[in-house]
Structure 1
Amino acid sequence: MLINNEFNEQKIQSPLRYIWLIFKSKNIAVVAMWAIITLLMVTLFTPYIMPYSPTLQHPDMLLLPPYWAEGANPAHLLGTDDLGRDTLSRLLKGIQLTLAGALSITLVISMLGLLIGATAALTQGVKASIMHHLLDALLTIPTILTALILIVLFGMSYENSLLAISLSLLPQFIRGIYISIENELNKQHIIALRLDGARNLRLLRFGIFPNILEPLVTLLTRIFTMAILEITTLGFLGFGANANEIELGALISKSLELVYLSPYLVLFPGVAIFLIIIVFNVFAEGVRHAIIEGEE
């Protein structure tokens, strides 16, 4: 039986599906994606997978090494600290607070930054000039210095540290969005949309945002990485989490005096910070290259 294919329609893939197909071909980026999913699951279910409370002390098991070292105890896979607290439980809690804090900061900054940056880029006249020079002035101050000043004003706590870091990183994101949208406004397809009577919301939705995905991914990756580093820096300096809210920077700070007796107490949080940053950056780089290849 003959099959007439004359009227068969060719199915056109959506841009997002096309980008996903390109992304799937990048093995390292896919591995990083699954690592991120694992980290997110650990963050969500930390209270259920921690073998012990991170503050529970075992006075008879002080400074135990990890399970592969001599003198280890199988009940504490990564050993204990100088107060007998389980290292694995404290590490999981640290990952939860650090990663959740960085993701929260990135989410808040992305929403506020897109709104303010798009408004500033589409506004003409004195308001745009004031916003432009204000952002330039704010960017001259190091973000960690801004965060420290805000921490002093708000008070030292984990929540206040997240707020301070968000406010210190927000100008960078706004500036990046402002420049990306401003560069896009002079292109021919935007001029054509304007001549067609498109309003600002339509310009953003159909003309600008689909074409700034690549710089947007780069900006979000930078903000997330800086959020991780600033959370851990403030925690290390003692301006972040308190004794009951132990994130990775605070874990390193509290273990420095024991580095010669039990170097693992400093090594594990440091490796965790390194892996979180590397995994998210590899994933973001894979997404960015998939977007670039999809636009070609």
Structure 2
Amino acid sequence: MSDASTTIARTVPTRRPGRLKDFWSSFRENRGAVIGLYVFAAFVLIAIGADILAPYDPTAQHRAFTLVPPVWQDGGTWQFPLGTDPLGRDMLSRLLHGARFSFFVGIVVVVVAASGGIMIGLIAGFAPRWLDTIIMRIMDIILAFPSLLLALALVAILGPSLINAMIAIALVLQPHYVRLTRASVLNERGKDYVVSARVAGAGLLRLMFITVLPNCLGPIIVQAALSFSTAILDAAALGFLGMGAQPPTPEWGTMLAEAREFILRAWWVVTLPGVAILVTVLAINLMGDGLRDALDPKLKRS
């Protein structure tokens, strides 16, 4: 009987959940992170389908309907559910298209900052001590400046535009990826699997990109999620200061800048873009916390 049981146990392998299933089971334990993921997904769908969902062109001016309040306020109309701005442009249409610009900024900034930061961090982690020291001191100098102030200075040099704002924000965020990647690489370099690969004859590039980098992606993914929200905030701040997207671009920060003089007369032209920024950034930060808990084995619940 025992022999038969042993044979069955050997022939029927024990199923282990896949990595994706294991990740999702850990991620969904954080309800705030799941809510943030759903809100983030909703904003992504809105950004993709803005042309279909928006009732009007975001730059179209309806001069006869300037500063019309939202539908739930006296004087509002269903023609403009969220009201209009000082030039008679539909707030709903501008908010929907603003999501597209904000997410475009976030994606571009994260891709550029992460790509450059990971590359420099890998080089610093495998470089001789003198080169590592030079790289990290340069990163420390960049981090010594207030991030928004440095981005503002770079945009002032490059010229005010959305593209230049994205370049400046990416350069400002890059040192965070450099330091994080370097720390992860130094932590992994002395482990047995790296030593075995080196003894087996693996070249430097193979060690960097094939052996070590995949085991450093957990914290980098978390940093990318949090940087996404930082990029949206910085782009909105630069737009508010007139150094980011330029009118009539329906970017949330630019919308705030255009409407700040009407804050007492027409609260919705300032409140609605601010709420959109708040909800988006909060959702991304909640999702980033869930990613951190799911990807860091030390934080997983037993």
State TM-score, norm by structure 1: 0.90
2:257 aligned residue: 253
1:24 aligned residue: 28
Greater CA drift, 89-98 or 7-16: 7-16
2:57 aligned residue: 53
Query: Secondary structure at the residue paired with 1:244?
Result: coil
In structure 1, distance between residues paired with 2:154 and 2:105:
17
In structure 2, distance between residues paired with 1:243 and 1:295:
45
Displacement after TM superposition at 1:209 (Å) = 3.6
Displacement after TM superposition at 1:180 (Å) = 2.3
Gaps of 5+ in 2: none
5 Å matches for 1:43-82? 43-82=47-86
1:140 aligned residue: 144
1:93 aligned residue: 97
In structure 1, distance between residues paired with 2:99 and 2:239:
13
Query: Secondary structure at the residue paired with 1:60?
Result: helix
Any conservation in 2 of the 1:147–1:161 contact (CA below 8 Å)?
yes
Any conservation in 1 of the 2:59–2:250 contact (CA below 8 Å)?
no
Question: Does residue 104 of structure 2 align to residue 106 of structure 1?
Answer: no
Any conservation in 2 of the 1:113–1:177 contact (CA below 8 Å)?
yes
Distance 1:19 1:204, change over 3 A: farther
In structure 2, distance between residues paired with 1:123 and 1:16:
34
Displacement after TM superposition at 1:125 (Å) = 3.8
Any conservation in 2 of the 1:158–1:245 contact (CA below 8 Å)?
no
Displacement after TM superposition at 1:204 (Å) = 4.3
Any conservation in 1 of the 2:110–2:227 contact (CA below 8 Å)?
yes
Any conservation in 1 of the 2:61–2:87 contact (CA below 8 Å)?
yes
* Coordinate RMSD, CA, aligned: 2.4
1:231 aligned residue: 235
Superimposed CA distance per residue, residues 52-73 of structure 1 (whole angstroms, 9 cap, x where no aligned partner): 1112111221211111111111
1:5 aligned residue: 8
In structure 2, distance between residues paired with 1:79 and 1:283:
31
1:182 aligned residue: 186
1:120 aligned residue: 124
In structure 2, distance between residues paired with 1:285 and 1:250:
29
Distance 1:14 1:197, change over 3 A: farther
Displacement after TM superposition at 1:13 (Å) = 3.2
**What is the letter of the counterpart of residue 101 of structure 1?**
V
**How many aligned residue pairs are there?**
295
In structure 1, distance between residues paired with 2:208 and 2:282:
32
Displacement after TM superposition at 1:188 (Å) = 4.6
**What is the letter of the counterpart of residue 157 of structure 1?**
S
In structure 2, distance between residues paired with 1:111 and 1:276:
24
Greater CA drift, 70-79 or 129-138: 129-138
In structure 1, distance between residues paired with 2:31 and 2:179:
33
1:15 aligned residue: 19
**What is the letter of the counterpart of residue 233 of structure 2?**
L
1:215 pairs with 215, 219, 224, which one? 219
Superimposed CA distance per residue, residues 235-289 of structure 1 (whole angstroms, 9 cap, x where no aligned partner): 0000111113231111111111111111111111111111111111111211211
Superimposed CA distance per residue, residues 181-222 of structure 1 (whole angstroms, 9 cap, x where no aligned partner): 223323454444434444444444565345434422332233
Query: Secondary structure at the residue paired with 1:5?
Result: helix
Distance 1:25 1:162, change over 3 A: same
In structure 2, distance between residues paired with 1:131 and 1:293:
30
2:154 aligned residue: 150
Any conservation in 2 of the 1:57–1:83 contact (CA below 8 Å)?
yes
Any conservation in 1 of the 2:102–2:252 contact (CA below 8 Å)?
yes
Any conservation in 1 of the 2:82–2:92 contact (CA below 8 Å)?
yes
Distance 1:178 1:128, change over 3 A: same
Identical columns (%): 31
Greater CA drift, 6-15 or 36-45: 6-15
Greater CA drift, 233-242 or 223-232: 223-232
Gaps of 5+ in 1: none
